[in-house]
Amino acid sequence: MADKRKGPMAETATSNAPVVRFAPSPTGYLHIGGARTALFNWLYARGRNGKFLLRIEDTDRERNNEQAVAAILDGLAWLGLAWDGEAVSQFARAERHREVAAELLKRGAAYHCYASPAEIEAAREKAKAEGRPLIFLSPWRDRDPKDAPKDVKPVVRLKAPRDGETIVEDHVQGHVVFPNKDLDDLIILRSDGNPTYNLAVVVDDHDMGITHVVRGADHLTNAARQTQIYQNMGWAVPEFAHVPLIHGADGAKLSKRHGAQGVEEFRAMGYLPEALRNYLVRLGWSHGDDEIMSTEDLIRWFDIDGINKAPARLDFRKLDDLNGHYIRASSDDELARQVREMLPHLDFKSLNDAATDPKAPPRSDIALAREVLRQIPVASTGADLASRFAAKGWDTFLRAIPALKERSKTLTELVGGALFMVAERPVQLEDKAAKLLNAEGRTSNAAVHKILSAIGDSDWTAPILEARIKSHAEATGAKLGSIAQPLRAALTGRAVSPPVFDVLELLGREEALARISDAAAI
């Protein structure tokens, strides 16, 4: 039985190559901390020709959520963390878990416990009064089963050692000692026959051939309890690496006031998956002074022994800067593709209405939502906005990217910079733009409108438009900026935009002249 494997669980890596797993509970979104854990596992396996397996720990049927399962799978796929084989359902393996519990009973390594809730509560109150944690010493550990009450369904407890120590040798935490007197007899089967977390994890990890367990430091005590199960079954204990948690920029435990927490939020905020991978791996691990690391570099360099023991801090400013680098380095076609994939995940009305912590970092997706609803009230979702870009022509959007990506740190900022292309007339003016459209600015726009009206569709290109307006500036003795600024405000509703002559070309002759007319003293 020690080497028993069933069905798809038997898949292993090549000899001496690691087999790792990511095992999320489907009770909510894919947390950014879980994403980093998955990334660490994925990199460790890929760099050593190993296997990266996925197990959904769905034994808690009341909290299990199929939408959460889908969100986890989608988040991993978006991050580019492909797993090997089919995802394993822990719940589907409950019979196998019960089988191992029966074997532990047979070996005398576990026992039926008939202690009542009242007895356990009394022990808890006594421990509380004495200022110590509850270590429940079941009276049924060595009691004759013949004394068992007939009308009570027992739990099954592991018969943990009372003396000595349980040692966890951890790649991150080091040599960790747990006095056995501090570890009580763990429940491995509930009274309804359902297995508990620690038993299910050990059985599944063994059957899946897991060689390295890389997970959050909050599971360190579980490692000691699970080690005892491994030892009682005569199974090899996998190597452990318990990684520190991610904290906010202020050093406190990550919470809503620190901003986004779920991978789908980071996606909606316009972060690129390769940038997020690069950033996440550096939350607790580094390779010298290298800041920008390709996925190939990470696969080659990453090692669990290099993970820091101290909690890492999530800093959105650093992530923004890193993401901006990846945006500038990306091809225009790739950015257009990423934008088309991102937009369906945005619900502008919900984002605009969402309550946000005033102390949380500004969110670019919320900023975009508010700008979209200001300029294009009918576009309540990203899908609506995508339809408007499609009607304008994605090729036109593509032509705008070179100028937009130089000043964008997220895809949402890039889209925000392109809103002028699909804004409704009359264009809504931001405050700075409105100030540019004073009497002098409107008079300037009227003159520009007259000049540009003489240019036909075939000549409506940025170089020709620039030449005509520069000639106008020279002829009137006006500075080019005094002409371009109110013109930009008329075309985009903003004081900052891509080069104004590019904007004219992107909008097209008819739309551009109409907007200038709206903001001119004609």
Give 118-179 as a DSSP string: HHHHHHHHHHHHTTS------TTSSS-GGG--TT-PPEEEE---SSSEEEEEETTTEEEEEE
What is the rounded average pLDDT for all residues in the chain? 92
89: closest CA among 25, 2, 27, 42?
A: 25
Q: What angle do CA 221, 227, 228 make, to 5 degrees?
A: 105
Residues 507 and 416 in one domain: no
Q: Judge whether 3 lies within some domain.
A: no
Catalytic residue of the set 126, 128, 253, 256: 256
37: closest CA among 251, 25, 229?
A: 25
Q: pLDDT confidence of 381, banded at 50, 70, 90?
A: very high
Q: Judge whether 484 lies within some domain.
A: yes
Range of the domain at 396: 256-421
Residues 353 and 447 in one domain: no
Residues 513 and 380 in one domain: no
Q: Judge whether 370 lies within some domain.
A: yes
Boundary residue ending a domain (421, 442, 471):
421
Does the annotation mark 256 as catalytic? yes
Boundary residue ending a domain (374, 401, 421):
421
What is the per-residue pLDDT across 226-243, written as a single tens digit (0 to 9) for each? 999 999 999 999 999 999
Residues 347 and 461 in one domain: no
Residues 314 and 355 in one domain: yes
Q: Which residues define the annotated binding site for ATP?
A: 256
Enter the pTM of the model: 0.90
Boundary residue ending a domain (367, 395, 421):
421
Q: Judge whether 360 lies within some domain.
A: yes
Domain of 327, CATH number, reads: 1.10.1160.10
pLDDT over 70 at 9, yes or no: no
What is the per-residue pLDDT across 245-286, written as a single tens digit (0 to 9) for each? 999 888 888 776 666 689 999 999 999 999 999 999 999 999
Neighbours of 116 (CB within 10 A): 10
Higher pLDDT, 483 or 116: 483
Segment 357-370 mean pLDDT: 84
What is the per-residue pLDDT across 412-432, written as a single tens digit (0 to 9) for each? 999 999 999 999 999 999 999
Q: Which residues define the annotated binding site?
A: 256
Domain of 469, CATH number, reads: 1.10.10.350
pLDDT over 80 at 206, yes or no: yes
Residues 314 and 384 in one domain: yes
Q: pLDDT confidence of 5, banded at 50, 70, 90?
A: very low
Segment 26-54 mean pLDDT: 95
How far apart CA 12 and CA 20 sit, in angstroms, is 10
pLDDT over 80 at 465, yes or no: yes
In this structure, the chain runs to a length of: 522
Residues 416 and 438 in one domain: no
Q: Judge whether 230 lies within some domain.
A: no
What is the per-residue pLDDT across 46-92, written as a single tens digit (0 to 9) for each? 999 999 999 999 887 777 778 889 999 999 999 999 999 999 999 99
pLDDT over 60 at 6, yes or no: no
Residues 378 and 465 in one domain: no
How far apart CA 171 and CA 306 sit, in angstroms, is 9
Residues 416 and 444 in one domain: no
Q: pLDDT confidence of 2, banded at 50, 70, 90?
A: very low
Residues 290 and 406 in one domain: yes
How far apart CA 325 and CA 157 sit, in angstroms, is 54
Residues 367 and 389 in one domain: yes
**Helix count (H) and strand count (E) of the chain?**
22, 12
Q: pLDDT confidence of 353, banded at 50, 70, 90?
A: confident
Q: Is the previous residue joined to 161 through a cis bond, with omega within 30 degrees of 0? A: no
Residues 281 and 400 in one domain: yes
